């Protein structure tokens, strides 16, 4: 794949709207949360949602073994949960210590009280999609929420790696100097 095509894909991905969620799971005496943004409604009837989880994320075995997960949507002004469950969160300790949890319908699915909205899900499919993420599809068993603005992932903070030093993928120009027929700079 050419660098131009890769750059166009990065730009298109950055434009996809994505909310920020804490994916939660618990199995036996171990519980974890992980910051995710690849969340999508799959179906209204039955109510299904999908979440993509990075391969190797320590939360994957908890979801696979418990067959349940929670999705807690972050509010726009919630810096604490974003920092606590982001990629640099401390591993080995319970990330929910000191946080208020709500008792939900499903046992042993951590639901963060300060989340903007939440969904408690039972896994109906786990797909290895031959990429850097696995996909879990869950049927929503319970949900709740409050008023507020959701935290959205922006193009200035994409989850895809930045281009190599010196490359400017957003300013690609066609080699022939004519009009741009792929995602490039906006006029």
pLDDT of residue 140: 96
* More confident position, 89 or 108: 108
pLDDT of residue 87: 65
Which H/E stretch holds residue 118?
strand 117-128
Name which of 59, 50, 142, 62 is nearest 103 in CA terms.
142
Look at residue 20 and tell me whether its pLDDT is greater than 90. Answer: yes
Look at residue 136 and tell me whether its pLDDT is greater than 50. Answer: yes
Evaluate the omega torsion of the peptide bond into residue 46 and state whether it is cis, within 30 degrees of 0: yes
Q: What is the mean pLDDT of residues 27-53?
A: 94
Confidence band (pLDDT; 50, 70, 90) for 155?
low
* Distance between CA atoms of residues 1 and 111, nearest Å: 42
pLDDT tens column, 46-76: 999 999 999 999 999 999 999 999 999 999 9
| Domain boundary assignment for the chain | 16-152
**Which CATH superfamily groups domain 16-152?**
Electron Transport, Fmn-binding Protein; Chain A (2.30.110.10)
Q: Are strands 111-112 and 68-73 parallel, antiparallel or unpaired?
A: unpaired
Per-residue H/E/C for 58-108: CHHHHHHHHCEEEEEECECCCHHHHHHHCCCCCCCCCCCCCCCEECCCCCC
Instruction: Identify the three-state secondary structure at position 138.
Output: strand
* Distance between CA atoms of residues 68 and 73, nearest Å: 17
Q: What is the mean pLDDT of residues 75-104?
A: 84
pLDDT of residue 1: 83
């Amino acid at each position: 794949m050419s660098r131009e095509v890769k750059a166009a894909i990065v730009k298109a991905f950055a434009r996809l709207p994505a909310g920020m969620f804490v994916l939660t799971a618990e199995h036996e005496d171990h519980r974890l949360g992980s910051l995710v943004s690849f969340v999508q409604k799959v179906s209204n009837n039955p109510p299904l949602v999908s979440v993509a989880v990075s391969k190797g994320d320590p939360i994957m075995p908890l979801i696979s073994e418990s067959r349940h997960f929670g999705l807690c949507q972050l509010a726009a002004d919630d810096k604490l949960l974003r920092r606590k469950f982001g990629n640099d969160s401390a591993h080995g300790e319970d990330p929910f210590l000191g946080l208020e949890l709500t008792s939900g319908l499903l046992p042993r699915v951590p639901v963060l009280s300060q989340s903007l909205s939440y969904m408690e899900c039972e896994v109906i499919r786990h797909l290895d999609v031959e990429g850097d993420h696995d996909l879990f599809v869950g049927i929503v068993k319970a949900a709740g929420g409050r008023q507020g603005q959701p935290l959205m992932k922006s193009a200035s903070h994409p989850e895809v790696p930045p281009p190599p030093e010196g490359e400017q993928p957003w300013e690609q120009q066609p080699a022939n100097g004519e009009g741009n027929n792929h995602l490039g700079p906006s006029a």
